[in-house]
Chains A and B, each alone.
Chain A
Amino acid sequence: DIVMTQSPHSLAVSLGERATINCKSSQSVLYNSNSKNFLAWYQQKPRQPPKLLISWASTRESGVPDRFSGSGSGTDFTLTISSLQAEDVAVYFCQQYYITPPTFGGGTKVEI
C-alpha cells in the first residue's frame, strides 16, 4: 500500500496569514502517460463528512475559494491556504487514488 505522510499534525495560524500543509507519498503517484498526479485534498469540518477541495494535485473543485491551492508532483505535495479565514478551521487530508487501495494521510488540524 502507498503510505501518505502529512506534516505538521496541527498548526495554528493567525487570521489572514498563510497556512501550509505538506503531504508525502511512499511512492510516486504521477502517471507518466498523461502527466497527472493522482492526489487529492479534502477538508473536514467538525461533525461533517470530508469535502473534496483539490484533485489531480492542483485542480480546485467548483466553488472552492481561490485562497486554496495545491502544488507538487511525484511524491511531495503541498496544500496552501493563502489567507486563512475563520471558516477554514478544519482537518485537512491528502489522498492518493493512483493505486488500490486508495490511502489517506493522517490529517492536519488547522486552528486560529
Chain B
Amino acid sequence: QVQLVQSGAEVKKPGASVRVSCKASGYTFSLYYMHWVRQAPGQGLEWMGVINPAGGSTNYAQKFQDRVTVTRDTSTSTVYVEVTTLRSEDTAIYYCVRGGRSWGSPFDSWGQGTLVTVSS
C-alpha cells in the first residue's frame, strides 16, 4: 500500500531555513507527481508546489516562488521541501501528498504531516 513517511517536528527561529523530507513506498516513485501542502493551526489547506519525480521539474505557488524549493532523490524515493527565511506565519503542518500520473489529478495519499514551529 502507498505510504508517505515524513520527518519529525522542527522548531526554528525567524530567518532560519527548514527542510522536511517525505519517503515514499508501495508504488513506483517516478510515476506520480508529489505535492506539498501546508496547514496553519486551525486553518485551511494551502498548496505550495509540486515535483515530477521522473525528471525533477517543479512548479510553485506564486507566493512561495522565492522561498520554497522542492527536490527529490530517486535512489531513496524521497522528496524534500525547503523553506528559507522563515517567519512566524510559516508555522504550520507541512504535508507531502501524492498526485496522479498526469497533471490535473486528485491528491490520493497524504503523509502524516510535519509540524514546523517558527518562534524566537
The reply on B53 being an interface residue by CB < 8 A is no
With an 8 Å Cβ cutoff, the count of chain A residues facing the other chain is 23
Roughly how many angstroms separate A87 CA and B5 CA in the complex, as a whole number?
25
Given contacts A104-B45, A106-B44, A107-B44, contact A52 B107 (CB under 8 A): yes
Residues of B close to A17: CB separation below 8 A:
none
CB distance B108 to A52 under 8 Å? yes
CB distance A104 to B44 under 8 Å? yes
Within 8 A of B (CB), among A16-50: 31, 38, 40, 42, 49-50
Roughly how many angstroms separate A110 CA and B111 CA in the complex, as a whole number?
23
Residue in B45, B46, B103, B106 whose CB lies within 8 Å of A55? B106
Interface class of chain B by DSSP: loop
Roughly how many angstroms separate A81 CA and B71 CA in the complex, as a whole number?
39
Roughly how many angstroms separate A95 CA and B106 CA in the complex, as a whole number?
8
CB distance A104 to B47 under 8 Å? yes
Roughly how many angstroms separate A62 CA and B103 CA in the complex, as a whole number?
21
B interface residues with partner A (beta carbon < 8 Å): 35, 44-47, 59, 61-62, 95, 99, 103-113
A interface residues with partner B (beta carbon < 8 Å): 31, 38, 40, 42, 49-52, 55-56, 61, 93, 95, 97-98, 100-107
